[in-house]
Amino acid sequence: MVEPRQDGAWTDRRRFLQAAAGGACAFGVAALAAGPAPARGQLAEKGLIRRRRSPWFSDLGGGALRCELCPRHCRLAPGQRGPCRVRENRGGRGYTLVHGNPALVQIDPVERKPFFHVLPGSRALSVSTAGCNIACKFCEVWDMALVRPEEVHAYDLPADEIVAQAREARVQSVSYAFGEPVVFFEYMLETAERAREAGLRNLLHTNGIIARPPLDALIPRLDAVNVDLKGFDPAFYREVCGGELEPVLATLRRLREAEVHVEVTHVVIPTLNDRADLQRRMFEWIRRELGPDTPLHLARFYPLYQLANLPPTPVALLDRARAAALEAGLRHVYVAKVPGHEGENTFCPGCGEKVIARLGFVVEEVRLRDGACPTCGRAIPGRWA
């Protein structure tokens, strides 16, 4: 499509989008840095806005509590917060400090979540608060996720108001993403219940580090989940992410068992998690445990936060990883944050037909017919309707 301009700067839409995204994270961090959209004209306020008692604490006696949300099971003395920064023991009672206080509320294409097999071309209302239960050295939103809630500007938006805004904006889903939704679990669960009642889809993008009971409570409200599988080496998880690998694998297995639509994101970081043998083991694990039709997003790393000294991922390294994933038997392997790459598109694994064409987060064409390839009729797994 050609869009002429008087100054002649950019006339081809594809070239413009490639240029706009090429220097940043494919419409990712650069767009997020602009800040969240205003919530019904409300001004964000700095500092704690509301706290809420949480049922996800157990009493250890003597005023001490244990947080039950994630496998870390943090033991908190009175007055102490967990390393997530948003869960606190106040006088022997457990509180969440971010209930109804999102630091980010904005509308995004669903492809940005990223979901490539869920309602292509639709929009989602994204919600996130301060806090995270791990601390990745390459965090893209560290100034929201890795700080205390008092340090960010947040809105006062109860669950009902989030759903009302989503319906007013005519989006098709609510997305819990950008920061780590596990740490605002109570807010997410309540919002997901209201969203489901309103006929909206619930999308979750998570690091996957969540305990089994809260995960089981959330699963009935979920339509799709994208899990960050940051590497396949426990040492990498501990040293670079401040977390453990096994809980992530357990979450992925449970989601598969519950028949939730799952997509996986893996950021390829030069010298840290790009060993070919570990990647091959990861791809084989995904095929064996989650199924060969599981969409895998191989994302380009860009220098930021505590890894600003590393170079961006060479595209050749992403190409090698994609080829290895396809060779391992995965059928839908994508290259993320490289606008214009062939790996942004969805191909039929039966006949090779391109069934969804994308450029960055822009869907240019959807050729599916009732969720199947129009050429050979093979069904393409996803949530298309």
For residues 223-229, average pLDDT: 98
Examine the pLDDT at 272 and tell me if it is beyond 80: yes
- Helices vs strands, H then E, count in the chain: 10, 19
Q: Supply the pLDDT for residue 43.
A: 74
Q: How does pLDDT run across 75-107, given as a tens digit for each residue?
A: 999 999 999 999 999 999 999 999 999 999 999
pLDDT surpassing 50 at residue 327: yes
Does residue 48 carry a pLDDT above 90? no
Q: What pLDDT is recorded for position 46?
A: 81
At 45, the pLDDT band (50, 70, 90 cuts) reads confident
Q: For residue 6, name the pLDDT band (cuts at 50, 70, 90).
A: very low
Indicate the average pLDDT of the chain. 90
Q: How confident is the model at residue 187 (pLDDT cuts 50, 70, 90)?
A: very high
CATH homologous superfamily of 99-344 equals Aldolase class I (3.20.20.70)
Spatial distance between the Cα atoms of 177 and 113, rounded to a whole number of angstroms: 7
Domain positions in the chain: 99-344, 345-385
Q: What share of the chain is helix, strand, coil (3-state, %, to 5)?
A: 30, 25, 45
Higher pLDDT pick, 15 / 359: 359
User: So what's the pLDDT on residue 9?
Assistant: 30
Q: What SS3 state is found at 125?
A: strand
The two tokens of residue 197 are 């009642």
Asked whether the predicted pLDDT for residue 313 surpasses 70, the reply is: yes
pLDDT value at position 242?
Answer: 97
Structure token pair of residue 257: 């068992």
Rounded Cα–Cα distance for residues 316 and 323 (Å): 10
Specify the amino acid at residue 11: T
Helix axes 246-257, 276-289, angle to 10 degrees: 30
Q: Look at residues 70, 75, 71 and name the one whose alpha carbon lies nearest to residue 58.
A: 75
Q: What value does the mean pLDDT take over residues 339-356?
A: 97
The predicted pLDDT at position 41 comes to 61
* Tens digits of residue pLDDT in 137-160: 999 999 999 999 999 999 999 999
pLDDT in tens, 10-44: 234 343 334 333 333 332 333 333 334 445 567 77
Percent of the chain with pLDDT over 90: 86
Alpha-carbon distance of 333 to 329, in angstroms, equals 10
Query: Is the model more confident about 261 or about 42?
Result: 261
Position 209 scores a pLDDT of 98
- Residue carrying the six token digits 């509320």: 105
pLDDT given at position 18: 40
Find residue 358's DSSP bridge partners.
Answer: 363
Pairing of strands 64-67, 75-76: antiparallel
